[in-house]
């Protein structure tokens, strides 16, 4: 599981033996981070496992499909016991609520479609946990993310995982150069998830066949609107479903139940044309629907840009890049035009449907694997 290796460096890129290299492994209790910890322990590193308790432990015990729930803390502890390294559980519940959950709720109420997993990496794992790792005198922190860290002429670079089907670069675009110096991603070069599970089985880990988590950890049943209503009572106020031409077509149960591009579940059957959600008017409590062609977008404004290119972001009038505007889509050709060091307009060379405020727009090297950062889509284009 080599990383940054040369004749004089160990597999994590340090000029000393593994036994003298302390690495904190962020352990979610899943198979990926468990394999990272086990492999590094096997190689002789001074491994310290850390698991974050991100929400109420008692309530979490019943949520087996979500990461960082009670069962996952138990699984992470068992892996540490099996491999013989120390393991700590840190209570990050208040930090997680302040940095991730509250913004998630407020974004939905504002008509956006947030990606809380990115904020968790940015504000919790790669900020507070990373600082905790430094406080533990670690040389680096390793995670089970499927992404690659490669050394370039200007320092460490972020690259897509070798297995593009598992690639998690969309969720890690906001990783800063300073964080990248300290982070390691030992699974990024693997060809498939089957390799990861085979490694887990080889170490005799109980999580070898554990299913992947599919949902946001604090929304394990996928019912986003239900969580919002609990966090913000009274948020689901009813209103009108309106056609883009002004016709009132029906009533809705609350804007928080809808997302841009949605077609199913609108409750306005019997019409001749298929209709999609094209706009969420929060102020008027209106869900605006229209034909599919109204979803096509070519210009995407982004802010909070995190740039990982070699030259300063605003040093060029435009950058020719590939971009992903949702995690499940392959990168598409685009022109990135900086407005300021943290704002830009992205021009998609092929119009895309369903671009939604609150989602991430991640920048890539055209035809290559390097990640150049990204930004947040912040208004309807």
> Rounded to an integer, what distance in angstroms lies between the CA atom of residue 158 and that of residue 362?
12
Domain count, the chain: 3
The answer to whether residue 263 sits within a structural domain is yes
- Regarding whether 186 and 95 lie in a shared domain, the answer is yes
**Catalytic site includes residue 217:** yes
The answer to whether residue 42 sits within a structural domain is yes
Residues whose CB falls within 8 Å of the CB of residue 5, separated by 6 or more in sequence, listed in order: 11, 13
- Regarding whether 285 and 177 lie in a shared domain, the answer is no
Axis crossing angle, helix 102-109 with helix 224-231, rounded to the nearest 10: 100
The whole-number pLDDT of residue 236 equals 83
Q: pLDDT (tens digit, 9 = 90+) per residue, 240-259? A: 999 999 999 999 989 989 98
Residues whose CB falls within 8 Å of the CB of residue 312, separated by 6 or more in sequence, listed in order: 341
The answer to whether residue 10 sits within a structural domain is no
Number of Cα atoms under 13 Å in the Cβ half of residue 216:
21
The whole-number pLDDT of residue 235 equals 80
- Regarding whether 156 and 121 lie in a shared domain, the answer is yes
- Regarding whether 309 and 278 lie in a shared domain, the answer is no
Q: Report residue 29: phi and psi, to 5°.
A: 95, -5
The model's pTM is: 0.90
Buried b / exposed e over 354-376, threshold 16 CB at 10 Å, is bbbbbbbbbbbbeeebbbbbbbb
- Regarding whether 307 and 249 lie in a shared domain, the answer is no
Of 290, 306, 332, the position where a domain reaches its end is 290
Query: 36 lies in which domain range?
Result: 18-202
Instruction: Give the active site residue among 68, 140, 217, 361.
Output: 217
The answer to whether residue 13 sits within a structural domain is no
The whole-number pLDDT of residue 148 equals 98
- Regarding whether 126 and 41 lie in a shared domain, the answer is yes
The whole-number pLDDT of residue 311 equals 95
The whole-number pLDDT of residue 381 equals 43
- Regarding whether 331 and 182 lie in a shared domain, the answer is no
Q: What is the CATH number of the domain that holds 355?
A: 2.40.30.10
Residues whose CB falls within 8 Å of the CB of residue 293, separated by 6 or more in sequence, listed in order: none
Rg, Å, the chain Cα set: 22
- Regarding whether 134 and 27 lie in a shared domain, the answer is yes
| 161 φψ region: left (φ > 0), alpha (ψ -120 to 50), beta (else) | beta
Instruction: Give the active site residue among 67, 68, 117, 120.
Output: 120
Q: What is the CATH number of the domain that holds 282?
A: 2.30.30.280
Positions of the chain with pLDDT lower than 70, given as ranges = 1-7, 56-69, 270, 380-381
**Catalytic site includes residue 67:** no
């Amino acid at each position: 599981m080599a990383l940054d290796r040369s004749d004089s460096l160990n597999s994590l890129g340090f000029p000393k033996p593994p036994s003298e290299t302390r690495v904190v492994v962020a352990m979610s209790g899943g198979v990926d981070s468990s394999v990272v910890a086990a492999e590094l322990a096997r190689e002789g590193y001074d491994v310290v496992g850390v698991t974050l308790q991100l929400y109420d432990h008692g309530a979490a015990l019943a949520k087996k499909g979500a990461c960082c729930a009670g069962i996952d803390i138990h699984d992470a502890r068992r892996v540490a016991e099996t491999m013989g390294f120390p393991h700590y559980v840190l209570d990050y519940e208040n930090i997680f609520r302040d940095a991730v959950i509250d913004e998630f709720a407020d974004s939905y109420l504002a008509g956006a479609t947030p990606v809380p997993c990115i904020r968790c990496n940015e504000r919790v794992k790669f900020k507070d946990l990373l600082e905790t790792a430094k406080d533990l005198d670690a040389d680096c922190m390793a995670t089970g993310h499927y992404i690659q860290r490669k050394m370039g002429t200007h320092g460490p670079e972020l690259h897509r995982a070798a297995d593009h089907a598992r690639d998690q670069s969309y969720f890690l675009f906001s990783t800063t150069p300073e964080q990248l110096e300290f982070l390691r991603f030992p699974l990024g070069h693997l060809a498939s998830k089957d390799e990861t599970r085979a490694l887990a089985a080889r170490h005799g880990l109980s999580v070898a066949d554990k299913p992947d988590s599919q949902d946001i950890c604090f929304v394990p049943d996928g019912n986003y609107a239900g969580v919002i209503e609990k966090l913000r009572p009274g948020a689901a106020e009813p209103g009108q479903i309106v056609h883009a031409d002004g016709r009132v077509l029906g009533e809705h149960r609350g804007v928080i139940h809808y997302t841009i591009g949605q077609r199913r579940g609108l409750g306005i059957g019997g019409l001749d044309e298929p209709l999609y959600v094209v706009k969420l008017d929060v102020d008027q409590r209106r869900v605006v629907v229209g034909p599919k062609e109204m979803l096509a977008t070519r210009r995407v404004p982004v802010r909070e840009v995190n740039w990982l290119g070699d030259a300063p972001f605003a040093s060029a009038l435009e950058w020719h890049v590939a971009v992903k505007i949702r995690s499940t889509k392959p990168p598409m050709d685009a022109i990135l035009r900086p407005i300021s060091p943290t704002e830009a307009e992205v021009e998609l060379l092929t119009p895309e449907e369903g671009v939604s405020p609150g989602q991430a727009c991640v920048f890539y090297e055209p035809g290559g694997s390097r990640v150049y950062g990204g930004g947040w889509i912040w208004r309807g284009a």
